[in-house]
Amino acid sequence: MDIFDQVNALMSEIQQFDTDNAEGLESFRIRFLGSKNIIKPLFSEIRNVPNDRKKEFGQKVNALKQAADEKFKSLQGQLKASSDSNIEIPDLSLPGIPVANGAFHPVRIIMDEVIDIFRRIGFDVAEDREVEEDWYNFTAMNTPEDHPARDMQDTFYVQNDPGRLLRTHTSSVQSRVMTTQKPPIRIIAPGRVYRNETVSARSHCQFHQVEGLYVAEGVSFADLKQTILYYAREMYGPDARIRLRPSYFPFTEPSAEVDVYWGLKDETDYRITKGTGWLEILGCGMVDPAVLNNCGIDPERYTGFAFGMGIERQAMLKYRIDDIRLFFENDKRFLSQFSAAK
């Protein structure tokens, strides 16, 4: 084939070339534009061309190179455009994919509120174990074995270890703290407690309490009453009224149960207050000197008060929940309804 025919053949190859993918374009580039491309040697062929056609040949080879350049650029542009159009551009005006937020458990919300209220008047949080020794839960709390008051709190004992039990109240933290700290002591102890009770809408075998304890020189019943009144007003509003009814606990003397005035606005109020308008919120009293003694604190020098309240009960009042079992079922439809009040 004549050298001119070769150039013409290459020209039509370039003109007819087409590809829709990067590999095709790359082999075109290597053949016509790479370092060992097919056009390059043609430039040295010029010396074999007769003089009168040298100019024509030179122009043809230059045109060949230019055509290859242009073809490459235009195919490259086409490929880029088509790959760009494959990228899905999201519609930014659409609403986003919702992220499900967690919610606080209603027990946690009330417990945090109670803790916060007592923190503000100088109570520190104390926590201790749920699997407790009999001594801290009962004996130190002036409830020795055979004491009839043990019947007040049906107990889960650890199998094969009668000295160990699931604490029946957070009062066990009182003896834990008093045996390790010196007065003045001012703590609140939030936590879970267990009682061997039949599970029903009203009672459960596990629930939460917050315990309070203040031991120092000269602590009086008036201090107790004022502290409880402060709590009731913070929790139930500035107009909250309380009343103290004499009661009995082995570890306090005298003992009282505290009611808050709930009102009789509707039928539910009648039902939950048994028609009185008053609701019991906690048990309390002056720490029995025998308890101080058991824990190594001198009852001649120190006095103290203590109180204990149930958290589920207050959550049930606040959120108008009528079945305590709901707190422990972890049903998301139930749990997602609550958010911290403050």
| Residues making contact with ligand PHE (CB under 6 A) | 169, 171, 211, 249, 252, 283-285, 306-308
| Contact criterion met (CB below 8 Å) for 284 and 242 | no
CA atoms within 13 A on the CB side of 340: 10
End-to-end CA distance of the chain: 93
| Contact criterion met (CB below 8 Å) for 206 and 322 | no
| Contact criterion met (CB below 8 Å) for 33 and 90 | no
| Contact criterion met (CB below 8 Å) for 170 and 290 | no
**Count of beta carbons in the 10 Å neighbourhood of residue 266:** 8
Cβ closer to ligand PHE: 4 or 157? 157
Residues 6+ apart with CB under 8 A from 110: 311, 314, 315, 318
Cβ 308 to ligand PHE shortest distance, Å: 3
Cβ closer to ligand PHE: 190 or 283? 283
* Torsion angle of C-alpha atoms 68, 74, 80, 81, degrees rounded to 10: -160
- Cα-to-chain-centroid distance, residue 314: 22
Cβ closer to ligand PHE: 39 or 287? 287
**Helix (DSSP H) and strand (DSSP E) numbers for the chain:** 12, 10
Cβ 255 to ligand PHE shortest distance, Å: 6
Cβ 323 to ligand PHE shortest distance, Å: 21
Cβ closer to ligand PHE: 118 or 307? 307
Three-state SS at 265: coil
Task: Give the residue nearest to ligand PHE (CB).
Answer: 308
Cβ closer to ligand PHE: 25 or 258? 258
Cβ closer to ligand PHE: 191 or 283? 283
The strand pairing partners of 255, in sequence order, are 247, 285
Cβ 230 to ligand PHE shortest distance, Å: 17
Cβ 285 to ligand PHE shortest distance, Å: 5
Cβ closer to ligand PHE: 153 or 273? 153
Cβ 275 to ligand PHE shortest distance, Å: 24
> Tokens standing for 132?
């407790």
The strand pairing partners of 303, in sequence order, are 216
Query: Is 149 buried (19+), middle (13-18) or exposed (0-12) by CB count in 10 A?
Result: middle
Cβ 98 to ligand PHE shortest distance, Å: 43
Cβ 156 to ligand PHE shortest distance, Å: 15
Cβ 211 to ligand PHE shortest distance, Å: 6
Cβ closer to ligand PHE: 32 or 249? 249
Cβ closer to ligand PHE: 287 or 326? 287
Alpha helices in the chain (DSSP H): 3-16, 22-32, 40-44, 51-86, 106-119, 134, 171-178, 221-236, 267-272, 289-294, 311-319, 332-335
